[in-house]
Chain A
Amino acid sequence: DSGVTQTPKHLITATGQRVTLRCSPRSGDLSVYWYQQSLDQGLQFLIHYYNGEERAKGNILERFSAQQFPDLHSELNLSSLELGDSALYFCASSGARDNSNYGYTFGSGTRLTVV
């Protein structure tokens, strides 16, 4: 158990629908990062939140949005889903500088399948 919890583990939904992916960071970590891994692709950075504020944005579609709540958990909202949105979505958290792990801990991911 990495300490980063992602729910649900698997999600199957139809095109056009909206889903919410949830991430609880490691205790004490203030940063949450979201990444997307499509088939045969590396991990694509989506967005970074630090203590509730958006810090950086990657190639995140306008149909996608995220937020980080006061308790530091984060949600990634995906709307108007398309077949191409099928992917693994990973959340990672980091906090104080920790050279043994770069302070970057990944959850086990949510596998989204759009049918």
Chain B
Amino acid sequence: DQQVKQNSPSLSVQEGRISILNCDYTNSMFDYFLWYKKYPAEGPTFLISISSIKDKNEDGRFTVFLNKSAKHLSLHIVPSQPGDSAVYFCAASIGYGNKLVFGAGTILRVKS
């Protein structure tokens, strides 16, 4: 049972434009949501998180939106840069510090 789903395997965006990566979840018990970025031959690195008490969290060019009623979150990257090209994983947990459940990832390509 895939509790965290990233339905778009890949996304291609022009440099300077907005990248929007989407994630859906099924378990209403999840209360922490995170985005990780992964380059080839490296481990995932933390990007941004949001707890269920918020609906938006912003960090520089990265903004995560959470819609609890739709069980949906999205990551916006504005403006997109070629260095943002990577695999982006959405993850969720029940309670802080517990195991993370990951989506399958979305490959983002930012074209210059």
Contacts and interface: CB of A to CB of B under 8 A. Distances in A.
B70 interface: no
Contacts of A42: 4, 6, 89, 102-105
B44 A102 contact: no
A48 B103 CA distance: 18
Interface of A: 2, 4, 31, 33, 35, 40-45, 48, 56, 58, 90, 92, 94, 97, 99, 101-109
Most chain-B Cβ atoms within 10 A of its Cβ — which of A35, A40, A43, A92? A43
A99 B57 CA distance: 13
Given A42-B89, A42-B105, A43-B89, A101 B100 contact: no
A24 B29 CA distance: 31
For the residues of B in contact with A, the DSSP-based class is loop
Contacts, number: 59
20 contacts: A2-B43, A33-B99, A33-B100, A42-B4, A42-B102, A42-B103, A42-B104, A43-B100, A44-B102, A92-B43, A97-B97, A99-B49, A101-B46, A102-B46, A104-B34, A105-B46, A106-B43, A106-B45, A108-B41, A109-B42
Interface residues of B, number: 25
Interface of B: 4, 6, 9, 32, 34, 36, 41-46, 49, 89, 91, 96-105
A31 B97 contact: yes
| Closest 8 pairs (CB-CB, A-B) | A106-B43, A42-B104, A43-B102, A42-B102, A108-B43, A101-B46, A106-B44, A45-B99
